[in-house]
Amino acid sequence: MANIKKCEDEILQKMRIIAYKEILSFKEAVLYLNVSESFLYKLTSKNEIPFSKPNGGKIYFKKEDLNKWMTQNSTTSIDELEKEILTKLKKGRDGKKIN
């Protein structure tokens, strides 16, 4: 039980540090994204996630890029679809609003 608590405390401490950083190391990005190291390596090797590798060394990530990557391919909610349909129905063929 003590080991679990210690691990939880270490993870919380790392997450607090990550919260204030703009650039994350590979291991920090793994924690931030909540993915395995092998999965993140796979994404970088396929260039499916933005990263930097200064001088061919360690891999770094901009937190802003990770946030964009996590929110790509989002789905539209039913409410958003209904609003979009109503907006289009209110417009005439020439794109002007109908009163």
Do 22 and 63 form a contact (C-beta atoms < 8 A)?
Answer: yes
> Are the CB atoms for 26 and 58 separated by under 8 Å?
yes
Give the range among 10-19, 29-38, 40-49 with minimum mean pLDDT.
10-19
CATH number, domain 2-90: 1.10.1660
Domain boundaries, the chain: 2-90
- Give the chain's largest Cα–Cα span: 69
Average predicted confidence (pLDDT) for the chain = 86
- Tell me the whole-structure pTM to 2 decimals: 0.66
For the chain, how many helices (H) and strands (E)? 5, 2
pLDDT higher than threshold 80 for residue 69: yes
